[in-house]
Copies of this chain bind each other. A is one copy, B any other.
Amino acid sequence: MNKATNITLKQAAEYLTEHDYFLILSHANPDGDTEGCAYGLCGALQRLGKKARIACSDPLSERFSYMEEAVEKQQFEENCVISVDVADRSLLGDLEEKYGDKIDLAIDHHISHRPFARRIYVDDSAAAACEIIYDLVKLLGANCLDEKNAKCLYTGIATDTGCFKFGNTTKYTHQKAGELMEYGFDAAALNYLLFDMKTKARIGLERYVFENLEFFAEDKGAAIALSKEILDKVDIEDVNGISALPRQIQGVEVGIVLKEKDDGWKVSLRSNCVNVQEICSHFGGGGHIRAAGCTIKTADAEEAKRLIKEEAAKAIEKLLK
């Protein structure tokens, strides 16, 4: 692999302009931001007359199915591979083996980005990678955006900021979201779908979470473990955003949700004041300061909870000193 080179956004735009056959990779367990980047950029490149397609180790979530309308299905041999919102090559999942050392351009906003591509553009001041993609497609020229791919980019910005609530939201986040809305998609209907609509199964799951939360560190921490048995009762869609619930309770500084997987417990942390990225790094995980995750490789729920609560309690204590 060549040495990674940091390039400017203008250089990234030039690079895209000079090429014609693009494969765009999003990260495994895709969220609104990585999918929004992929579909938004793919649609923009296609509108420029280029060939572009998307690959991800996991299927597009049902919730984001509208994104498929933004792109045309195209078959071709790519000569340019781009990753979007991928902080580490391992996050490519099943695609890592094939593409891990073949990425020509990585566009990302994670402060924890570990270089793996030949060209890199990382801006960790962007609340969402979709903010960067929006700036990038503007550089590609007019007519890159329409109602459909603008909606994809808005999705990434809205989901990564909790609909403009989180601390990563800046003046520019708002400005870009407002500009994207001008392309005419129904933002209210989209926001309802992304943030407000709940299935009855979801309402039941939320109830289970609130009824079974374990408080610790003088009620400043709250944790819940969701076993496969519980998770199997609901759609995968219904589990989305569950990680944010414990932190919602007045007084809770660190909210922890553990989900049972084949290889152990997948842990999601959310906080108000505590650096949860640091907590997760103890278990080989990462993410953002106020939202991070890791996997604890034990089958034992109590053991997994004990380990993560211990680290979280230490961090809470440090904060309160």
What residues of chain A have their CB less than 8 Å away from a CB belonging to chain B? 163-167, 169-175, 177-179, 181-182, 186-189, 191-192, 195-200, 203, 207, 210, 244, 247-250, 272, 290
Contact = CB atoms under 8 A, between A and B. Distances in A.
A203 B249 contact: yes
Number of copies of this chain that the complex holds: 2
Which of A164, A172, A195 counts the most chain B CB atoms within 10 A?
A: A164
A178 B175 contact: yes
A66 to B, nearest CB: 16
B171 A182 contact: yes
Contact of A169 (B187, B197, B199): B187
A249 B117 CA distance: 43
Contacts of A169: 181, 187-188
A174 B165 contact: no
B250 A165 contact: no
Contacts of A247: 196
B167 A165 contact: no
A177 B248 CA distance: 23
A174 B167 contact: no
